[in-house]
Amino acid sequence: MTGSTPAAVVILAAGEGTRMKSATPKVLHRIGGRSLLGHAIAAARATGPLHLAVVVRHERDLVAAHVADVDPGALIADQDEIKGTGRAAECALEHLPRDLTGTVLVTYGDVPLLTGDTLRGLLDSHRESRSAITVMTAEAPDPTGYGRILRDDSGAVVGIVEHKDADERQRAIREINSGIYAFDAATLRDALARVGTDNAQGEKYLTDVLGVARADGRRVSAYPCDDVWQTEGVNDRVQLATLGRILNERQTQRWMRAGVTIVDPATTWIDVDVTIGMDTTLLPATQVLGATTIGRDAVIGPEVTIRDSEIGDGAQVRRAEVHLARVGAGASVGPYSYLRPGTDLGAGGKIGGFVETKNARIGEGAKVPHLTYCGDATIGAGANIGAGTIFANYDGVAKHTTVIGAQSFVGSNSVLIAPVTVGAGAYVAAGSALVADVHPGQIAVARAKQRNIDGWVDRARPGTATAEAARAATRHTGDSGDAAREGA
């Protein structure tokens, strides 16, 4: 084993998290597009460990299934009825090789802002100091509730005292225990075997390992982290929201420094797995979520939510929701459009105002400009779909597909009753209800003949303002409507 590769990383994720007041295990609550545990696993994997173990207990099956989904290579270690962080670490060691040597990092499943870079820094410091144990510490503006780091006159770490056990002088110490450690594997295994549960809580504490190591004459060091947020855990929904906001601030700053214009970072939310190209602009009230990719020179927003989608170079999306869809280069979407899964808008295409699409492949330069539902459709390049068109794809039992050929034109207020095909270069007259195919170059007119019935208003609506207006217009023009009668 060479370089800064740990022998193992152990993530403690067995706690119940009662203060969350939730049926969902605490470590499965999400910020930035990942679960708290997902963030912890990502940071751990960034160190390149030979082994990664996650300790579980509360809602064991839910948490274990999530770990298997996020990181199939991770080991699941079950904590037994003995409580405490020390026992949790001991249970993890029981799932690791008995002859494991090197450094074991221990971290937590509810510390989402911790980064792989910080863990690598802890690892390097641990090795350079040749310590048996290195504890990550931080300076807290308000250390209330945290364990304090005790040092001797030389600055060496001599112990950790919990807040409730600290005297007045110790409580004035602002250097806190993060609970994140680097251990020599043999030291950790040996010390845990000698740590008991003889305390008020009846728990086996990981902090007691430091006292055992010190008594054995082994070196215990501290690794100060200058970013206290990386040591903050989530215990309730207030802290969840706070850390979510801090994480998002870091995401928006990261992308602005990479060449993305974010007009209002306070109302812009970007998940951690998002990718954004240079010179793209995000306008206020925009959410870019999941594994979304946005190209260069795009304009997104205002009031846009994009999830797990691909937006091409130079595209524009405004006041829209886009989910599992693709928007091609130079295409435009919105306002007030809903692109559902399976939508694929070609380069230079348009999905306009109050349009909903689903499983729709819309070709290069094609337009669906206004007030349309377009589901289960293939629309060829350059085609135009008139306002108010409905792709009637569902017959009550199954979904069917409509195909619109290249450079074809569908008139406004048409209903295309699938399955139906409109050939290339064909027309559908406005107001048609199409039930049969249209061949290339044809025009389809599928609507009833117009009937104008004389005297209907006088007979059906006598005495109304409408009837009076009709009589006045007839007196003025001398037209009783005979010229417009049926058959005229």
pLDDT digits (tens, 9 = 90+) for 178-225: 999 999 999 999 999 999 887 777 889 899 999 999 999 999 999 999
Report the pLDDT value the prediction gives residue 463, as an integer from 0 to 100. 94
What share of the chain in percent tops pLDDT 70? 97
pLDDT-wise least confident of 52-56, 108-112, 473-477:
473-477
Is residue 165 assigned to a domain? Answer: yes
Same domain, 124 and 269: no
478 pLDDT tier (thresholds 50, 70, 90) = low
CA 232 to chain centre: 21
Report the pLDDT value the prediction gives residue 479, as an integer from 0 to 100. 61
Is residue 240 assigned to a domain? Answer: no
Is residue 479 assigned to a domain? Answer: yes
Report the pLDDT value the prediction gives residue 485, as an integer from 0 to 100. 43
Same domain, 429 and 299: yes
How many separate domains does the chain show? 3
- Identify which has the larger pLDDT, 481 or 280: 280
Same domain, 284 and 191: no
pLDDT-wise least confident of 62-76, 156-170, 393-407:
156-170
- Identify which has the larger pLDDT, 144 or 76: 76
Report the pLDDT value the prediction gives residue 327, as an integer from 0 to 100. 98
Report the pLDDT value the prediction gives residue 2, as an integer from 0 to 100. 41
- 226-252: pLDDT as tens digits: 999 999 999 999 999 999 999 999 999
Same domain, 77 and 19: yes
Is residue 250 assigned to a domain? Answer: no
Report the pLDDT value the prediction gives residue 162, as an integer from 0 to 100. 84
Query: DSSP state, 226?
Result: S
Same domain, 148 and 196: yes
Domain boundary among 212, 231, 250: 231
Q: How far is CA 107 from CA 39, 42, 216, in A?
A: 11, 12, 24
Same domain, 221 and 291: no
Residue 273 has pLDDT above 80, yes or no: yes
What's the farthest any 2 CA atoms get from each other in the chain?
A: 115
Pair of tokens at residue 486 = 């049926």
CB atoms within 10 A of CB 365: 20
Q: What is the bridge-based pairing of β-strands 350-353 and 332-333? A: parallel
- Report the CATH number at residue 340: 2.160.10.10
Same domain, 132 and 217: yes
Can you give the residue range of the structural domain that contains 22?
8-231
Question: Long-range contacts made by residues 195-199, C-beta under 8 angstroms, separation at least 24?
Answer: 195/86, 197/82, 197/83, 197/84
Rounded to whole angstroms, the Cα distance separating 221 from 132 reads 8
Report the pLDDT value the prediction gives residue 481, as an integer from 0 to 100. 52
Is residue 83 assigned to a domain? Answer: yes
For tokens 């990981």, the residue is 206
Same domain, 331 and 202: no
- 104-143: pLDDT as tens digits: 999 999 999 999 999 999 999 999 999 999 999 999 999 9
Average pLDDT, the chain: 94
Is residue 162 assigned to a domain? Answer: yes
Same domain, 312 and 185: no
Cβ atoms 413, 389 nearer than 8 A: yes
Same domain, 312 and 426: yes
Rounded to whole angstroms, the Cα distance separating 415 from 199 reads 75
9 pLDDT tier (thresholds 50, 70, 90) = very high
Report the pLDDT value the prediction gives residue 427, as an integer from 0 to 100. 98
Is residue 237 assigned to a domain? Answer: no
- 378-390: pLDDT as tens digits: 999 999 999 999 9
Report the pLDDT value the prediction gives residue 480, as an integer from 0 to 100. 54
| CA-closest candidate to residue 40, choices 180, 182, 177 | 180
Same domain, 209 and 316: no
484 pLDDT tier (thresholds 50, 70, 90) = very low
Report the pLDDT value the prediction gives residue 165, as an integer from 0 to 100. 84
Same domain, 203 and 317: no
Report the pLDDT value the prediction gives residue 197, as an integer from 0 to 100. 84
- Report the CATH number at residue 76: 3.90.550.10
Is residue 243 assigned to a domain? Answer: no
Active-site residue list: 370
Q: How far is CA 338 from CA 306, 345, 348, 359, 383, in A?
A: 10, 12, 18, 12, 20
Pair of tokens at residue 342 = 């399976």
Cβ atoms 94, 192 nearer than 8 A: no
Number of H helices, E strands in the chain: 10, 39
